[in-house]
Structure 1
Amino acid sequence: MTDLLEMQGISKTFPGVKALDDVSLTVAQGEIHAICGENGAGKSTLMKVLSGVYPTGSYDGRIVFDGQPVDFRTIRDSEDRGIIIIHQELALVPLLTIAENIFLGNERATRGVIDWPETYRQTEALLAKVGLRETPGTIVDTLGVGKQQLVEIAKALSKNVRLLILDEPTAALSESDSQALLDLLLELKGQGVTSIIISHKLNEVRRVADSVTVIRDGATISTLDARQGLTEDRIVRDMVGRDMAHRYPDRDRRAGEVLFELQGWNVWHPEQRDRQMIRDLSMNVRAGEVVGIAGLMGSGRTELAMSVFGRSYGRDIAGQALVRGRPVDLSTVDRAIAAGLAYVTEDRKTLGLILDETIRRNTILANLDGVARRGVVDETRETEVAETYRRQLRIRTPSVFQKVMNLSGGNQQKVVLAKWLFTDPDVLILDEPTRGIDVGAKYEIYSIINDLSAAGKGVVMISSEMPELLGMCDRIYVMNEGRFVGELTADQASQEAIMSLIVRE
């Protein structure tokens, strides 16, 4: 198998940070090559060098593509050679059609006039290749994330892609959509398309990858043959620099008094008046307990969490909420916080953080009174609070004055946790708390959760990763179509037991 790509001695420096240090990468023609590493290891930076986002001259080293040295000064230069990158944040225009998105900037035109019949004909052929049944005139905003990923791949195919780069392609997808996307990558491989996939989901890496390159702290650690019985533990060891025999930290499980309780909770869809999202649901969380909520995408887990936290979702919400046995008013976010609740959303970038603000400012957002004197924020106190949580949660950053957008996903998640811990809650609702972060950062988040439970807090953990729920939770509620269909203790719980409860309904 001949080499399609060689990246030799790539080094890239930002002010005060060496992001890449003499990194080398070789990708064979027709293979699926995975790149693994912790958040901040340099994976995305390396791909931005390859795709021309960071142009020739802004880094040291050289790139050889298809046997020839290349200099990419723009993204267009790399695309002209057939190198297409699909970022984790999709680059589609929501209000344009599928056809318009696929050929945007690459229009099928004659003498400056778009040939719409030809555009639609080619779009239909591309959609058939990626297995998407929608029509070319479908507005992209009406599609789910999984289908939007397929539109991005169709767009890449329209540019005669030779090397397809996907950055965390399944991070926001359901399990079924993830499997469909991985199947498509294997099909494209059969058609001669070479792929590079960046992923934290090691089970997916092992399923599709021919080889794996591990990057740690901006340096190449190893390149492994995935076809020779490669284990997840081996990848993890190279990623974090140590063995992780126990993916989930040990915890002394001691449940105390009931901290939080829901009784007969009902929620209706905010727009579809005849659609009930949560049906007569009851649950409780004890002090020192981690309670999981398992369920398929669309089962109502996030809708439940948002409806509880200040009625951020839904209408005609009915039922009773109690904290330490006393009814509480959760009708607004301020009242939910005052009642002792905190909610870490599943979408940290849109709903959890102000990305263009500093760590310091994000840390105090949910509790301004805690750093204010006579209604004015005390900036010295604000810095002290942010520094305290930076050390406590081990947020990797040179300074609390760093903008959050410049942090890795794991460190961004720690800032969200810091923001809510500063409100001193009794109960934390964590919605997909480790989505899109690496195994090392996950372990640190799990350790924080254990510290909270040891301090007598109650934790509600919503996760699409069943091994995570099984490894962390004392009890698991199983949810389907807006109802709890079962409750399992840690001893009773297994992936089979959870799925059997879901499919039985």
Structure 2
Amino acid sequence: MNALLEMQGISKHFAGVRALSEVTFTVEPGEIHALVGENGAGKSTLMKVLSGVYPHGSYDGAIVFDGEERRFGDITDSERLGIIIIHQELALIPLMSIAENIFIANPPGRFGVIDRGAVHQRTKALLAKVGLDEAPDTLVTDIGVGKQQLVEIAKALSKQVRLLILDEPTASLSEKDSAALLDLLLEFKAQGIASILISHKLNEVSKVADRITVLRDGRTVDTLDCRDGAVEEDRIIVKMVDRDLEHRYPRREPQSEEPGIGEPIFKVSDWSAYHPLHGERQVIRHVDFEVRRGEIVGIAGLMGSGRTEFAMSIFGRSWGQKISGRAEIEGREADLSTVRRAIDAGLAYVTEDRKQLGLLLAEDIRKNVTLANLPAVASSQVIDDLQELRVASDYRSRMRIRSHSIYQETGKLSGGNQQKVVLSKWLFTDPKVLILDEPTRGIDVGAKYEIYCIINELADAGKGVVVISSEMPELLGICDRICVMAEGAFVGEFPAAEATQERIMRAIMRKGEQRS
């Protein structure tokens, strides 16, 4: 079969740093071809070359599409041929309607006048193709992330897509929405539309991909054919990280000696919170919770169970209203009424959204590391540049942040290294209790392992660590104890030795049955 796309010997450098080296990559008509690799392996760079974000002349090598060499000057050139890329950060305008978002660049009309009727009808037809029954005039801000992802795909279909590129499309989706999106890709495949799927979720990749290409350090390592049988995840991982991960998670052996797991270091009692916009809606319901010194406690639950809302309401009342309850740190009542007071009391919270809420992406590593504890690098309220330099350099070394210097712009780091910068920022506050909300979302398996090792080190140093995660295998692999949340309340608790995915789900389902 003739390839729809051939990328031949693609090389790309940034300021002397090699991002891609002689990469070869092909896609056949109607194929779902997965592209995997660690953060920084070159996946997104390769796709930006393909889509024209990096124009011809800024890289070496050739792009052949439909049997002809193509030289894209920008993204509009690739879109004219039906090559459409959907980035992890969706390019939708929240306060515009679905129809306006889909046809913002090229609305149907005559003589410069937009045909509103045609926009409405074509939007309805496109939404039907992706399985959405929302009205075309619905504002994007009023629909969930999973539906927004489908709007992006409908937008791609409006451009007569032939090759659809999806960069981490399920990173922020629930299991149900993820499954629906993968089913949609299979439907497109049946219609002859080819897809390139970039994902760190190897179980999803194995489910739908016809072939899997592995990139490592900007080079093509291997292409695995899945059409004759599923490829084991461990085989993919070994290709990605160039080492045998005998265990996905570092060995967790809580010490019996000090600092080890000890007395409760953080405790909340009868904690409640109401929705910030709908004051009559109670979201967190009389929660009792504790974490002991040197302990890693996981919080499991489905999307909407209240895990993040609980964590944010504790951390300086960052979320909610009419918040009530008592909090103690090291046996003394703690004032958590503001973020500053929560930090001063010894609490730190690593948000699930590191790009929007955790980092200043336009600032360098140095500024981000010291951001939450500026008094520690200041003299008479003036930042001591030399002290800031020492602190940032120390954390860059300790956390193994891969960058050319501490002056590198944080937004240009890989996802795993951005997460290490966020962790550094909060560790510099010297917290007693660290809450990690989805700490490995959008991070490759190699970087995940490093984050897990850091979590272990924090617990071994006597910190109390709380991990909120939607990945139950992750919680089972790294936690000493797992609490299960449903509908704003804890509905189960298991020591690590007794916890299983089935028992956790059973606790969640029992809560649903009681409600019905």
Distance (whole Å) between structure 2 residues aligned to residue 91 and residue 303 of structure 1: 26
1-structure distance, mates of 2:203, 2:400? 28
CA distance in 2, matches of 1:105, 1:323: 54
Q: 2:484 aligns with which of 475, 478, 483?
A: 478
The alpha carbon displacement at 1:395 in A equals 0.1
Q: Post-superposition shift, 1:16?
A: 2.8
Equivalences for 1:294-373 in 2 at 5 Å?
Answer: 294-373=300-379
Task: After TM superposition, give the deviation of residue 190 of structure 1 in Å.
Answer: 0.8
Distance in 2, matches of 1:252 and 1:391, equals 25
Distance 1:166 1:457 in 2: 39
Alpha-carbon distance in structure 2 between the residues aligned to 1:270 and 1:118: 39
Aligned equivalents of 1:249, 1:491: Cα separation in 2: 16
1:443 aligns with 2:449: yes
1:396 aligns with 2:397: no
**Map of 2:258 onto structure 1:** none
CA-based RMSD of the aligned residues comes to 0.8
CA distance in 2, matches of 1:226, 1:244: 22
Residue in 1 that maps onto 2:274: 268
- The Cα of 1:257 is off from its aligned counterpart by 1.3
Structure 2 CA distance for aligned equivalents of residues 214 and 9 of structure 1:
15
- Once the two structures are superposed, residues 304-353 of structure 1 have per-residue CA deviations (whole angstroms, 9 ceiling, x without a partner) of 00010011111111111011111111101111111111000000011101
1:257 equivalent in alignment to 2:263: yes
1:171-222: CA deviation from partner (whole Å, max 9, x where unpaired): 1111111111111111111111100010000000001100000000100000
Matches within 5 A, 1:44-63: 44-63=44-63
Report the equivalent of 1:40: 40
> What is residue 11 of structure 1 aligned with on the other side?
11
How many residues matched?
A: 505
Indicate the SS of the match to 1:282. strand
Residue 398 of structure 1, CA deviation:
1.0
- For 1:73-152, list aligned pairs within 5 A: 73-152=73-152
**Equivalent residue for 1:65?**
65
Q: Distance in 1 between matches of 2:334 and 2:49?
A: 53
**Bigger shift: residues 64-73 or 384-393:** 64-73
- Name the residue aligned to 1:239: 240
**1:450-492 CA-partner distances (Å, limit 9, x unpaired):** 0001111110000000100000111111000000001011011
**What secondary structure sits across from 1:441 in the alignment?**
helix
**2:305–2:486 contact (8 Å) kept in structure 1:** yes
- What is the one-letter code of the residue matched to 1:374? S
Moved over 6 A (4+): none
Secondary structure of the equivalent of 1:152? Answer: helix
From 380, 386, 389, the equivalent of 1:383 is 389
1:429 and 1:91 map into 2 onto residues whose CA distance is: 30
8 Å contact 2:433–2:463 — kept in the other structure? yes
Taking the aligned partners of 1:400 and 1:487, their CA distance within structure 2 comes to 42
Q: CA deviation at 1:251?
A: 2.1
Partner deviation per Cα, 1:77-101 (whole Å, 9 max, x = no partner): 1011110000011111111111111
Matched, 1:458 2:490: no
Instruction: Give the partner amino acid of 1:79.
Output: E
Q: Amino acid of the residue matched to residue 187 of structure 1?
A: E
Distance 1:336 1:288 in 2: 20
**Secondary structure of the residue that 2:176 maps to in structure 1?**
helix
Write the letter of the residue equivalent to 1:74.
D
* Alpha-carbon distance in 1 for matches of 2:319, 2:136: 33
Question: Helix, strand or coil: the match of 1:3?
Answer: coil
Paired position in structure 1 for 2:473: 467
Q: Which residue of structure 2 lines up, in the alignment, with residue 153 of structure 1?
A: 153
Q: Deviation per CA, 1:115-173, whole angstroms, max 9, x where unpaired?
A: 11111111111110000000111111111111011011001111110000000000111
1:367-401 Cα shifts (integer Å, max 9, x gaps): 11111111111110000000000000000011001
Per-residue CA deviations over 1:248-268 (Å, capped at 9, x if unaligned) read 001221311110001111111
Instruction: Tell me if the contact between 2:108 and 2:119 (Cα under 8 Å) persists in the aligned partners.
Output: yes
The within-5 A match list for 1:135-284 is 135-227=135-227, 228-254=229-255, 255-284=261-290
Deviation at 1:3, TM superposition (A): 1.1
Instruction: In structure 1, give the amino acid aligned to 2:408.
Output: Q
Residue 237 of structure 1 aligns with an amino acid whose one-letter code is V
Q: Look up the equivalent residue of 1:318 and give its one-letter code.
A: S
AA at the equivalent of 1:198: I
Aligned to 2:435: 429
Mapped partners of 1:226, 1:490: distance in 2: 35
**Identity rate of aligned residues, in percent?**
67
Aligned AA for 1:156? Answer: A
Letter in 1 for 2:351: T
| Contact 2:206 2:230 survives alignment (8 Å) | no
User: What SS does structure 1 have at the residue aligned with 2:4?
Assistant: strand
- Taking structure 2 as the reference length, what is the TM-score of the superposition? 0.97
Paired with 1:150 and 1:270, the residues of 2 have a C-alpha distance of 28
**In 1, Cα distance between equivalents of 2:213 and 2:136:** 37
> Aligned partners of 1:252 and 1:478: how far apart in 2?
22
Structure 1 residue matching 2:498: 3-state secondary structure:
coil
2:162 is matched by which residue type in structure 1? R
Counterpart AA for 1:441: A
TM-score, length-scaled by structure 1:
0.99
Cα offset, 1:2, TM superposition: 3.0
> Equivalents in 2 of 1:395, 1:118: separation in Å?
51
State the one-letter code of the partner of 2:247. Answer: H
Aligned to 2:514: none
Matched, 1:420 2:426: yes
SS in 1 for 2:107: coil
- Contact 2:298–2:467 (CA under 8 A) maintained in structure 1: yes
Q: Which one-letter code corresponds to 2:202 in the other structure?
A: L
Shift of 1:229: 2.8
Shift in Å at residue 67 of structure 1?
1.1
